[in-house]
Amino acid sequence: MAEIFPVAHIYTDFPSKFGIPRQSGLAKTSGKIVFCPDFRSPEAVRGIEGYSHLWLIWEFSENKEKSASLTVRPPRLGGNVRMGVFATRSPFRPNNLGLSSVEIEKIDYECKDAPVIYVKGADILDGTPLFDIKPYLPFTDSHPDAKSGFSGEVMNNNLDVSFENGCDKSIKNEDLENIRKILSEDPRPHYHGDPERIYAFEYSHYKIKFRVENTTLKVIEISDF
């Protein structure tokens, strides 16, 4: 078997797994792609500025062991229904590989580690190794009439998000928009239903605490860490 190795790493606002969007593009979260030394050349990205989006192939680097199970429990189905691993985008996979589509924001050819690609819509843990980067081709990669299986049946079950005690007042608008979008998708395991339970996740330099009551997610505290 051919060796697979990182060509770059991506740096994002997600220092821990909990709270990361379950799909790319759901929120306009920022990412910075820094190439490994062997690929850190303008020649490696020549022509990339002509594209608006990229495919990233990456590693679920926090999953230390490969999954041997052929079925998984998708959180959107409540965590109690098993589906085939290849019918889901579960992070627990035979080869721990992830696939994300991101939008190119800009390319910096002048910085110390140039070229550096800045992207939007990343659903990836900070520091994750990237195994490959490919251009997104709308004429072949976009299928507007494609069926979404069981995922389409539950994709619109979003939560209303409210901020208690004015805890959102000091957050800049772009961060607040991303926090609201991430929380509306309900980052909890879906078998958790205790309205008194307090959850916390980290985004950028914020630690956000919340609880969920019926269909409303209530943010009770936002602090720096």
List, in order of start, the domains of the chain with CATH numbers.
Answer: 8-141 (2.40.30.70), 158-224 (3.30.2310.20)
Which pLDDT belongs to residue 92? 85
Sheet containing strand 206-213, strands side by side: 160-163, 216-224, 206-213, 199-203
Is 67's pLDDT higher than 80?
no
Q: Is 116 left (phi over 0), alpha (psi -120 to 50) or beta?
A: beta
Q: What is the pLDDT of residues 95-127, one digit of tens each?
A: 889 999 999 999 999 999 999 999 999 999 999
For position 61, what pLDDT does the model report?
81
**pLDDT given at position 12:** 97
Three-state SS annotation for 89-135: CCCCCCCCEEEEEEEEEEEECCCCCCCEEEEECCCCCCCEEEEEEEE
Q: pLDDT tens, 143-182? A: 999 988 877 665 556 899 999 989 999 898 889 999 999 9
Q: Pick the closest to residue 52 from 124, 142, 125, 123 (CA basis).
A: 142
pLDDT, position 161: 95
User: Is 90 exceeded by the pLDDT of residue 22?
Assistant: no
Over residues 64-92, mean pLDDT:
81
| DSSP three-state, residue 165 | helix
Q: Rounded to two decimals, what is the model's pTM?
A: 0.89
Burial 135-162 (b: 16+ CB within 10 A, else e): ebeeeeeeeeeeeeeebeeeeeeebebe
